[in-house]
Structures are given as C-alpha cells and as structure tokens.
C-alpha cells in the first residue's frame, strides 16, 4: 500500500482538481509569492519572472490530475517553477562561466569576513549582481535546497562544475558585500 503525503492544503487541491476556479485561485494566492521569488532569483528580471510564474501555474493547473500527494503541493509546484525557469534560461542560451576560464584569485580566508554584516537587502543586491550561472546555482543550492547532483541533472552539467560554480558564487558574494 502506497503512503500518501499529508498535505495541509489537500482539500483545496482536491477541489482544484475537480475544476473549482475559486479553489485554484486560493492555491494561487497561497503559493504565488513564494514561487515568484524563486522565478525572480533565478531570472533576475521582474517581467520575465511574472511571465514564467503565470506559465508555471497554468502548467500546474493543467497537470493537476497527475498530482498524487506523494509530496507536498508546494514541493510539486516548486519543481514545475524551477524547471520552467531552467528551460527559459536554456532558450535564452545563458551559459555558465566555465571554471577553467576564470582567473584564480588568492583571497585570504580571514581578512575581516567576520565583520561583514549579512543584511538581507545587501545579500539580495549582491545576488542580483552575480553572473547568471552563479546566481542560478547559488539560488538552487542555498535557497531552494537542491543538492549538487540534482543541480547537475537540472542544468546538464557535472556535479563538480556545480560545486565549483557555487564556491565561486559564495566568494563573489563576499567580495560584493565588502563593497556595499
């Protein structure tokens, strides 16, 4: 016997599956802000993020009958949103900066890093300043909780490239935060 995941919004999802527009709108209200934030962090463009958010919800509602409560609705929807963003970026041909093409910088480990104040606004600003490839991997790993093997699959890169890009993104964030 298969164990179904206990979703706190199960009733709303079931009504939405049955075609209830009010329930679908309620799901949209519950999840749209969090899903928009994912889109925005990955795309770094408000208009594109809004467009992809709408596309992702349209796709989710059209495929709602395939949702089997094996995970939370939010996790299922998040996967759709992330995949939409990745596919959009692939279409835009955003390429990762390969590790081999970056100059090596010897940066001391303990040069005032403890004094950097990691204020939320500064971190968001620093993330916006990251190159696309860095920002995507940084967001997927640190914020969205994907591991490097999952990121490698999603981005069609090696796991070591994902780890290297994440490491370089962290270093770049630290450098940017020192200037803000």
- Is 99-179 a domain of CATH 3.40.630.10? no
Choose the weakest-confidence range: 56-60, 121-125, 128-132: 121-125
- Hey, how many other C-beta atoms are within 10 angstroms of the C-beta on 124? 12
Q: What six digits make up the tokens of 35?
A: 């899903």
Range list for CATH 1.10.1740.10 in the chain: 10-91
Predicted confidence (pLDDT) at residue 113 exceeds the cutoff of 60: no
Instruction: Judge whether residue 170 has pLDDT over 60.
Output: yes
Mean pLDDT over 113-124 rounds to 61
Structure tokens at 6: 């206990």
Give residue-wise pLDDT tens across range 34-48. Answer: 999 999 999 989 999
Q: At a CB cut-off of 8 Å and minimum separation 6, what does 5 contact? A: 69, 70, 71, 72
Contact 56, 78 (CB under 8 A): no
The encoded tokens of residue 59 equal 């796709």
Q: Which CATH class is domain 10-91?
A: mainly alpha
Give the per-residue pLDDT at 6. Answer: 62
The segment(s) of the chain belonging to CATH 1.10.10.10 are 99-179
pLDDT at position 95 over 70: no
Does residue 90 have a pLDDT over 50? Answer: yes
Average pLDDT for the chain: 83
59-84 pLDDT tens trace: 999 999 999 988 899 999 999 999 99
Whole-angstrom distance, CA of residue 160 vs CA of residue 109: 22
Tell me, what's the pLDDT at 37?
93
User: For residues 118 and 7, which has the higher predicted lDDT (pLDDT)?
Assistant: 7
């Amino acid at each position: 016997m298969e164990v179904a995941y206990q979703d706190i919004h199960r009733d709303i999802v079931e009504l939405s599956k049955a075609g209830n527009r009010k329930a679908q709108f309620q799901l949209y209200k519950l999840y749209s802000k969090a899903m928009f934030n994912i889109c925005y962090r990955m795309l770094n463009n408000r208009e594109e993020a809004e467009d992809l958010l709408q596309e992702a919800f349209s796709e989710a509602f059209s495929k709602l009958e395939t949702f089997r409560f094996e995970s939370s609705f939010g996790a299922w929807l998040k996967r759709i949103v992330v995949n939409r963003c990745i596919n959009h970026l692939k279409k835009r041909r955003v390429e990762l900066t390969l590790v081999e093409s970056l100059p090596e910088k010897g940066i001391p480990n303990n040069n005032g890093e403890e004094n950097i104040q990691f204020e939320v606004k500064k971190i968001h600003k620093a993330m916006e300043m990251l190159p696309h490839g860095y920002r995507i991997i940084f967001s997927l790993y640190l914020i969205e909780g994907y591991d490097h093997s999952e990121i490698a699959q999603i981005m069609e890169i090696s796991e070591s490239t994902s780890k290297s890009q994440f490491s370089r993104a962290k270093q770049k964030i630290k450098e940017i935060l020192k200037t803000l």
